[in-house]
């Protein structure tokens, strides 16, 4: 019996003694009180047993943790990894995803781990939708610290202001590789003109391929019936004869094309390089080395290329994102030579992180790192000098002419520097 119940009964007894003072009446009252208290104690002990008997069968009791090994909530809750940097890319079969994955792989090696196995820097490739959505993700999505995207798409968004003034909200870390225009077609399609009025896949809605395919084919004056499906569905539609060709833009070689061959009736359509394309695109070719199953040994197929760039949100210097990106830049730039290994993607041969992207601001820690180490500095200085010359002269050449002029200027620059 608990203390509260005993106190209550004692109070009752005392009240009874006061009320019945004659001795003859006091004894029976005391006896009744004792009997009442005994019954109360018996009932108090019986209730728990009764409840256990009538309760549903409980799960077997397990041995509780010893006090010293009992896990504490504060210990099992994991805090976010402040050293994880996300890179938004396109689909897993694209070159940009392969490049991001190799960045993750290389930078993951050679790092010291902390007491719980944590690393100083972790790169997380993120499969994105591509196109405008990737840029939007970098601007708004937590964890999407960087993104790989075509330069021309960013120039388009800056002009249209669809996402606001991205010249202020975005910075670039480094120009990367070129992405080529691929047009995979059925046997009866021998040139672009044959696609007029036919069903042509432009890639999924709002993807970078769709936006750039519309731009390129529009400049070439080609009018086709646009279809928007993924590349696997497009290839199946081509086998059935429902789709004449599929367009996609990615860095060569596109690994998923290895499953198709000329014997299956698939081939790559040549794309002419006209004056309407010179402002934003560069001419290039596909060879047998790029696609052995689609291109003959001595064959060359003309196409177009567009540069890609690694971008980031223009975060405040005091922000956690800024600190993460600075850590990434120091690691990535310091180990850039490791990406030149023959086992890495061929597109790394085109990457010069010190190259300048005119008209856009570079991420400040990246600019500072390059100036301090002078990585490929002569060419970088030459590009800056060349751009200043063009600005002063008022000359605005096309992309092709600009590059041709720069290569001539670069030869002169190197001779002047005694290289």
SS3 of the chain: CCHHHHHHHHHHHHHHHHHCCCHHHHHHHHHHHHHHHHHHHHHHHHHHHHHHHHCCCCCCCCCCCCHHHCCCHHHHCCCCCCCEEEEEECCCCCHHHHHHHHHHHHHHCCCCECCCCCECCEEEEEECCCHHHHHHHHHHCCCCCEEEEEHHHHHHHHHHCECECHHHHEEEEEEEEEEEEEEEECCCCCCHHHHCCCEEECCCCCCHHHHHHHHHHHHCCCCCEEECCCHHHHHHHHHHCCCCEEEEEECCCCHHHHHCCHHHCCEECCCCCCHHHCCCCEEEEEECCCCCCCCCCCCEEEEEEEEEEEEEECCCCCCHHHHHHHHHHHHHHHCHHHHHCCCCCHHHHHCCCCCCCCCCCECHHHHHHHHHHCCCHHHHHHHHHHHHHHHHHCCCCCHHHHHHHHHHHHHHHHHHHCC
202 and 347 in a single domain? The answer is yes
Q: Is the pLDDT of residue 13 over 70?
A: no
Q: Is the pLDDT of residue 362 over 70?
A: yes
134 and 227 in a single domain? The answer is yes
Indicate the pLDDT class of residue 76, thresholds 50, 70 and 90. very low
Q: Is the pLDDT of residue 29 over 80?
A: no
What pLDDT was estimated at residue 68?
A: 41
Residue 74 belongs to a domain: no
Average pLDDT over residues 54-83: 44
pLDDT tens figures, 177-198: 999 999 999 999 999 999 999 9
327 and 367 in a single domain? The answer is yes
pTM of the model: 0.70
Residue 256 belongs to a domain: yes
381 and 234 in a single domain? The answer is no
195 and 341 in a single domain? The answer is yes
If one compares 412 and 403, the residue with the highest pLDDT of the two is 403
In three-state secondary structure terms, 203 is coil
164 and 223 in a single domain? The answer is yes
9 and 110 in a single domain? The answer is no
Percentage of residues in the chain having pLDDT higher than 70: 68
Percentage of residues in the chain having pLDDT higher than 90: 52
What pLDDT was estimated at residue 119?
A: 59
273 and 161 in a single domain? The answer is yes
pLDDT tens figures, 279-302: 889 899 999 999 999 999 999 999
Residue 57 belongs to a domain: no
What is the tally of structural domains in the chain? 3
113 and 206 in a single domain? The answer is yes
What is the overall mean pLDDT for the chain? 79
Residue 64 belongs to a domain: no
391 and 370 in a single domain? The answer is no
Q: Is the pLDDT of residue 165 over 80?
A: yes
Q: Is the pLDDT of residue 19 over 50?
A: no
Residue 62 belongs to a domain: no
Residue 65 belongs to a domain: no
Residue 75 belongs to a domain: no
CB 409, CB 382: distance < 8 Å: yes
29 and 90 in a single domain? The answer is no
What pLDDT was estimated at residue 223?
A: 94
What pLDDT was estimated at residue 113?
A: 58
Q: Is the pLDDT of residue 325 over 60?
A: yes
328 and 371 in a single domain? The answer is yes
What pLDDT was estimated at residue 55?
A: 45
What range does the domain containing 414 cover?
376-419
Q: Is the pLDDT of residue 375 over 60?
A: no
Lowest pLDDT segment from 91-95, 199-203, 388-392: 388-392
Residue 262 belongs to a domain: yes
Q: What is the CATH number of the domain that holds 195?
A: 3.40.190.10
């Amino acid at each position: 019996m608990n203390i509260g119940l005993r106190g209550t009964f004692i109070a009752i007894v005392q009240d009874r003694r006061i009320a019945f003072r004659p001795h003859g009446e006091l004894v029976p009252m005391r006896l009744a009180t004792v009997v009442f208290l005994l019954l109360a104690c018996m009932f108090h002990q019986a209730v728990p047993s009764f409840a256990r008997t009538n309760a549903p069968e409980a799960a077997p009791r397990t041995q509780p943790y010893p006090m010293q090994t009992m896990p504490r909530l504060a210990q099992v809750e994991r805090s976010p990894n402040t050293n994880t940097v996300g890179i938004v890319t396109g689909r897993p079969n694209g070159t940009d995803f392969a490049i991001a994955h190799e960045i993750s792989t290389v930078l993951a090696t050679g790092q010291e781990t902390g007491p719980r196995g944590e690393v100083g820097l972790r790169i997380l490739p993120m499969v994105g939708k591509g196109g405008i959505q990737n840029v939007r993700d970098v601007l708004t999505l937590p964890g999407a610290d960087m993104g790989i995207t075509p330069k021309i798409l960013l120039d388009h968004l800056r002009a249209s202001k669809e996402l606001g003034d991205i010249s202020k909200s975005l910075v670039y870390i480094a120009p990367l590789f070129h992405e080529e225009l691929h047009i995979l077609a059925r046997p009866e399609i021998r040139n672009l003109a044959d696609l007029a009025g036919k069903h042509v896949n432009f890639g999924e809605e709002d993807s970078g391929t769709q936006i750039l395919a519309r731009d390129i084919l529009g400049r070439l004056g080609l009018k086709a019936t646009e279809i928007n499906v993924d590349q696997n569905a497009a290839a199946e539609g081509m086998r059935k004869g429902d789709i004449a060709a599929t367009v996609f833009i990615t860095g060569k070689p596109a690994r998923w094309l290895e499953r198709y061959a000329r014997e299956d009736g698939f081939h790559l359509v040549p794309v002419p390089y006209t004056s309407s394309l010179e402002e934003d695109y560069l001419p290039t070719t596909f060879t047998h080395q790029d696609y052995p199953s689609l291109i003959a040994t001595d064959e060359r197929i003309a196409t177009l290329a567009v540069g890609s760039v690694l971008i980031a949100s223009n975060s405040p210097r005091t922000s956690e994102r800024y600190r993460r990106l600075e850590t990434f830049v120091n690691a990535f730039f310091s180990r850039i030579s490791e990406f030149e290994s023959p086992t890495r993607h061929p597109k790394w041969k085109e990457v010069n992180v010190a190259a300048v992207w005119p008209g856009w601001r570079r991420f400040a820690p990246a600019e500072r790192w390059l100036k301090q180490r002078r990585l490929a500095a002569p060419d970088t200085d030459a590009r800056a000098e060349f751009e200043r010359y063009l600005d002063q002269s008022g000359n605005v050449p096309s992309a092709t002419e600009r590059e041709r002029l720069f290569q001539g200027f670069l030869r002169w620059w190197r001779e002047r520097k005694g290289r």
